[in-house]
Amino acid sequence: MALDPEKGLSKAGYVTEEKGVPGVTSNGASSPDTTETSDNTTQSQDGGLLSKLRSLEARMDRKLGVESEAIDRKRPEEKREVSWIEELTMALLWASGTMNTSCFATGFLGWEFGLSLKQSIIVTIFSSIIGGAVTGYCATFGAATGLRQISVSRYSFGWWPNKLIALLNSIQQMGWAAVSCITGGLALTAVSDGRVSLILGIVILAVVALAISLVGLNAILVYERYAWIIFFVIFLIIFGETGRYADNSAPATDTGLTLSGSVLSLLAVVYGSSASWCTMASDYYVHYPANVSRIKVFLMTSFGIAIPTSIGMLAGCVVASGFNNKPEWQDVYENQGLGYLIQDVLHPRGFAKFLLTLLVLSGINTNVISIYSSAISFQQLARPFARIPRFLWTIFCFACILALAVGGRQRLNEYLQNFLSLLGYWCTSYAIILFEEHFIFRKGKFENYNLEAWNDPSQLPLGIGAAIAFCLGVVAWCMGMDETWFIGPLAKLIGASGGDVANEITFVVTALTYAPARYLELKYFGR
């Protein structure tokens, strides 16, 4: 039977007005014969190794709050009202996660692309706001549904296609953490005057982040609420000590289409940096009351990402522009690395080492968030994976991050340019699909989501419409991407070096294909 989205749907996670819907009782709770029970609670108590490990995690949860059932839906009755200080965490969490040496390093890309300081600043601010808004929108689902971000997207991507999203998110977050380990390791190497190798620095940062991530969300939120203050002060000092050497008069090295291509490529990188949080934003809002203002969530998240990201990146823009007036800075940057450059641009020497030591900690902030969310994503790849305790997935992510960071440590900016651009591509498709599903097919109302069905494949969409739109989005990426290892045919048309237009094309293709594909999915499958 074809079902009308206007009248309440009995499948695909829609709320229905009909009685006797399989698996849902009159009060909306799951009946005993459904598979709604959490992935985490479906394991058999057989006394095996996994059962013992889960019992250990449960005991740790009672004593330390390590979240033994992290992916479970947080129901409204389980939540409490939060103080205004805790609400500020909506913004401060991201300030701590983005105001770091990774963003500082990204700020040098404008100079590498041949843009002027003014052009780099404008592109950076604009891109950060757009990317932050994408994440801000996705964040509004957390408190309202009580679900982690990957669980939220089951209502559009369905049970099976959503597993690809979970895998991509895990890889994305581990990649971000690897970038932070590299930049933090470079700073630690400079502080120690080379006595601490880059590999050892990477290991130290990853281990500290692992320890915090193991504890769980409560510890993360408290830590991230205050950590940003230190790095905000440090970046103000960097602006103060390097601003007088900034060269605002030097024009861009390219003109015409080549300049346009450089602008588009930088826009893609910075946008990807801010938008890449959208696939895990809800993870940090599930404990807020369901009636919290969505506008407040959107604004605090959007600007909580855009402003701190811009601060870190603009500091990089300013220092890079100073290469014209201080060529010795450029020599240090290209031959010794980012950590030594930071140490050289600050003075006196002892004070510079002190600030650099504090900046090392900034890499930990990003790692904490990334490790936590990637572990949760892995748990949602399959029901057997959900039986594996979160702390084991956290350790697994830690090992992967070390491998990525050590492997990519020698080519940081190339790593940044390629990796961050790729993040933006698929995050654009993801956010557009969530947006259209919510406003076109759910009429913008959370009452039209059967939240009891979040873990029941039979009551979730098949995900055909989302899979079609997402795959066509992949084709769009390939047509418009501009990476060191591949330049798409459309990107090649923009200047001598190409221009990255993958996000723009992906946006259009996904937006135009998801709505009709989802409509046909509902018409012929009713889910």
- pLDDT value at 178 more than 90: no
Alpha-carbon Rg for the chain, nearest whole angstrom, is 23
Compute the Cα dihedral for 24, 25, 29, 33 and give only its sign. negative
With pLDDT > 70 as the criterion, what percentage of the chain qualifies? 88
Residue at 310 is within a domain? yes
Residue at 359 is within a domain? yes
Residue at 453 is within a domain? no
Q: What does the alpha-carbon distance between residue 135 and residue 30 come to, in Å, rounded to a whole number?
A: 31
Residue at 48 is within a domain? no
Residue at 138 is within a domain? yes
Cα-based distances in Å from 345 to 169, 310, 318, 412: 36, 20, 11, 20
- One-letter amino acid identity for 124? T
Token code pair at residue 213: 């991530």
Cα-based distances in Å from 268 to 121, 257, 410, 414, 420: 14, 16, 23, 14, 8
Structural domain count of the chain: 1
Structural domain for 126, as ranges: 74-411
How much is the pTM?
Answer: 0.88
User: In angstroms, how far is CA 99 from the centroid of its own chain?
Assistant: 14
The SS3 assignment for 215 reads: helix
- One-letter amino acid identity for 120? S
Q: Which of 204-208, 276-280, 398-402, 481-485 is predicted least confidently?
A: 481-485
How many Cβ atoms from other residues are within 10 Å of residue 25's Cβ? 13
Find the angle CA(435)-CA(438)-CA(439) to the nearest 5 degrees. Answer: 85
pLDDT value at residue 45 = 47
- One-letter amino acid identity for 327? P
**pLDDT tens per residue across span 104-114:** 989 999 999 99
202, 406 contact by CB (below 8 A): yes
Rounded to 10 deg, the angle between the 294-321 and 256-275 helix axes is 130
Residue reference for tokens 């479970």 = 72
Residue reference for tokens 């603009």 = 314
The more confident residue out of 294 and 182 is 294
**CATH code of the domain in which 299 resides:** 1.10.4160.10
- One-letter amino acid identity for 337? G
Residue reference for tokens 């723009």 = 504
- One-letter amino acid identity for 349? R
Cα-based distances in Å from 171 to 373, 411, 513: 11, 19, 26
- pLDDT value at 24 more than 70: no
Q: Mean of the per-residue pLDDT values for the chain?
A: 86
Mean pLDDT of the region 243-269:
92
Q: What does the alpha-carbon distance between residue 20 and residue 130 come to, in Å, rounded to a whole number?
A: 45
Residue at 46 is within a domain? no
pLDDT value at residue 451 = 95
- pLDDT value at 500 more than 90: yes
Question: What phi and psi values does residue 185 have, to the nearest 5 degrees?
Answer: -65, -35
Residue at 323 is within a domain? yes
Q: What does the alpha-carbon distance between residue 361 and residue 411 come to, in Å, rounded to a whole number?
A: 22
Residue at 53 is within a domain? no
Token code pair at residue 4: 């009308």
**pLDDT tens per residue across span 449-463:** 999 999 999 999 999
239, 245 contact by CB (below 8 A): no
269, 422 contact by CB (below 8 A): no
